[in-house]
Each structure stands twice: as structure tokens, then as C-alpha cells.
């Protein structure tokens, strides 16, 4: 970055901080990370043994000591919130494909997602969001990836569970603005995509958290976020990126290998 770019960035950032720009100017403290100040986010739970996005995978992440579980929220035909990554699923025995939004909660929870023998079947099915909140409250945070759900109803549910300080919201920018309109102290986590979009995003939201991926992360990305008072939560490429990401200033990693990441952080 040349001197003119550096000066322009500094001036823009100074105006941002002085004005308290963005709808999230009312800021709440973040809960501390357990492992040396680095947040460990279990992507779809800890799913090395248990099916992803199940209560069993979330419980495993709790047992391993992760800070957050990442969940994908969708809406069923009967307007219930469930955690499932894909918009479609395959229904046995005839391998029929159906949309999550075209099935009821009862139909979805009748499906067997597999997993090891002897597991409690209620922990091994597609979970409702309320079940996830009950499991996680006071034990682990929730990284909420909003796939398809009405923002207003979803915000009220999180507020009813008194978990606004325990949930990080990941969604598109317009949805995040809706979240903040209804819940100014909710913790939104916008993703700028390429770094060139970072300053407009910081000006729009003045966020406590910024999401990114390993492919788009850099030392300057981290520095700019930290100057604006935001922590960087990075979605890993592979575990071999961890050391470099931390050296560059990453504050948290979303990973498919939470137990291994915790061991890495302890050893370092």
C-alpha cells in the first residue's frame, strides 16, 4: 500500500471512529476466548464422529472446549427454524430430493442422519433452533449463518432466549442491517469479500467482528479491522494455514477440526 493510500485510509478511519459511524455504534463487550485470546469456532459443530449440524456434533464441540458452534439456519414449511446447510436434502428410500422449506419439522426430524451406534436419536436428527439454544446457552456461543429465515422472527427468538451476547450473526449486509434495526446490541459479523470492500463495510456497520476466508485474509486486512476496533474471524482453508493466519493477526478461526485447533493453540 503506497503512502497516498495509507493517508487516505487513515483519514477515512479517523472520521469513522470520530463519528461513531454505522448502525452498531452502540457496542457491547465480547466474551473472552478460551484459548490464548483466539476464538475457536466449530464449523457445523465438531463432526469428525457425529453428523454435522446435529446436537451431538454441537455437544462434542462443547466437550472439546470450543468457543462457538457454527449453525446454518433455514425455515421449514411450518415456519420452524432448523439447522441444515443445504437448501435440499435426499430422502430415502427412493432418494427423492426435496427442499427444506417444503418439508415440516416433523418430516425433517423423522430422518435418520446416521452416526455411531448407541447415540441418543434426538441428538442425531436435524435440530430445531430452540433445541440448539437450550443446549448451548451458558456453555458455548453460536455463530449463526442465516441461510433462509425471516430476520424479525429470528431476532425475537434469540432475544427470548436472552442470548444476544452469545450469538454472532453472519448474513448479507441488508439482513444484518435488519438485525441491528431490531436489536442494536446484537453482534453482527459482516463479510466484505475482497479487501477493497472493507472500508465501506466498516463505515456502514462499525462492527465488533468481521468475517473473512483464508483466501482473502492478509496482514493489512487484520490491521485495518483492528484499527477500527473489530476482530477478524477467519474461515480456514486447511489446518496448515493456522500458524500464518495467527502471525498475521487473526482473532478467531472457523474450522472443521476444532479439537486439533485447540491442541495447536495450547501447544503454541
pLDDT tens figures, 174-201: 999 999 999 999 999 999 999 999 999 9
Judgement on whether residues 183 and 221 belong to the same structural domain of the protein:
no
In a domain, 1, yes or no: no
In a domain, 249, yes or no: yes
In a domain, 60, yes or no: yes
Judgement on whether residues 65 and 172 belong to the same structural domain of the protein:
yes
Element holding 164 (H helix, E strand): none
Judgement on whether residues 138 and 253 belong to the same structural domain of the protein:
no
In a domain, 17, yes or no: no
Judgement on whether residues 181 and 200 belong to the same structural domain of the protein:
no
Judgement on whether residues 183 and 64 belong to the same structural domain of the protein:
yes
Alpha carbons 220 and 169: distance in angstroms, whole number: 24
State pLDDT tens for residues 224-244: 999 999 999 999 989 999 999
Q: Which three cell numbers stand for residue 267?
A: 501447544
In a domain, 11, yes or no: no
In a domain, 59, yes or no: yes
Judgement on whether residues 219 and 109 belong to the same structural domain of the protein:
no
Q: Which three cell numbers stand for residue 226?
A: 483492528
In a domain, 13, yes or no: no
Judgement on whether residues 163 and 240 belong to the same structural domain of the protein:
no
Q: Which of 49, 88, 55, 86 is nearest to 69 (CA)?
A: 55
Instruction: Return the pLDDT at 57.
Output: 96
Arithmetic mean of pLDDT over the chain:
91
Instruction: Return the pLDDT at 24.
Output: 45
Question: How many domains does the chain contain in total?
Answer: 2
The segments of the chain whose pLDDT lies below 50 read 7, 18-25
Alpha carbons 121 and 61: distance in angstroms, whole number: 18
| Residue ranges making up the domain that contains 154 | 38-188
* Domain final position from 166, 188, 210: 188
Scanning the structure block, which residue is given the C-alpha cell 448479507? 172
Judgement on whether residues 161 and 54 belong to the same structural domain of the protein:
yes
Judgement on whether residues 231 and 173 belong to the same structural domain of the protein:
no
Q: Considering the entire predicted model, what is its pTM?
A: 0.90
CA 43 to chain centre: 8
* β-pairing verdict for 81-83 and 68-75: antiparallel
Judgement on whether residues 165 and 259 belong to the same structural domain of the protein:
no
Judgement on whether residues 45 and 159 belong to the same structural domain of the protein:
yes
* Domain final position from 157, 188, 219: 188
Amino acid at each position: 500500500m503506497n503512502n497516498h493510500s495509507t493517508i487516505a485510509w487513515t483519514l477515512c478511519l479517523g472520521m469513522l471512529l470520530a463519528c461513531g459511524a454505522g448502525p452498531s455504534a452502540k457496542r457491547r463487550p465480547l466474551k473472552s476466548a478460551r484459548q490464548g485470546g483466539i476464538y475457536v469456532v466449530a464449523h457445523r459443530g465438531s463432526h469428525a464422529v457425529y453428523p454435522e449440524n446435529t446436537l451431538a456434533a454441537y455437544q462434542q464441540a462443547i466437550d472439546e472446549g470450543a468457543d462457538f458452534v457454527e449453525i446454518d439456519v433455514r425455515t421449514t414449511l411450518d415456519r420452524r427454524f432448523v439447522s441444515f446447510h443445504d437448501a435440499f436434502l435426499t430422502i430415502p428410500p427412493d432418494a427423492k430430493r426435496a427442499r427444506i422449506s417444503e418439508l415440516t419439522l416433523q418430516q425433517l426430524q423423522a430422518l435418520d442422519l446416521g452416526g455411531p451406534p448407541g447415540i441418543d436419536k434426538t441428538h442425531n436428527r436435524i435440530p430445531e433452533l430452540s433445541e440448539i439454544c437450550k443446549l448451548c446457552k451458558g456453555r458455548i456461543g453460536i455463530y449463526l449463518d442465516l441461510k433462509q429465515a425471516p430476520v424479525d422472527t429470528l431476532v425475537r427468538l434469540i432475544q427470548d432466549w436472552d442470548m444476544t451476547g452469545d450469538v454472532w450473526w453472519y448474513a448479507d449486509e441488508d439482513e444484518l442491517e435488519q438485525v441491528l434495526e431490531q436489536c442494536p446490541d446484537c453482534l453482527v459479523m459482516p463479510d466484505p469479500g475482497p479487501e477493497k470492500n472493507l472500508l465501506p463495510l466498516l463505515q456502514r456497520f462499525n462492527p465488533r467482528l468481521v468475517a473473512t476466508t483464508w483466501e482473502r485474509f492478509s496482514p493489512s486486512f487484520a490491521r485495518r479491522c483492528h484499527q477500527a476496533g473489530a476482530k477478524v474471524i477467519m474461515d480456514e482453508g486447511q489446518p496448515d494455514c493456522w500458524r500464518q493466519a495467527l502471525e498475521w493477526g487473526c482473532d478467531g478461526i472457523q474450522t472443521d477440526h476444532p479439537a486439533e485447533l485447540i491442541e495447536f493453540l495450547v501447544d503454541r
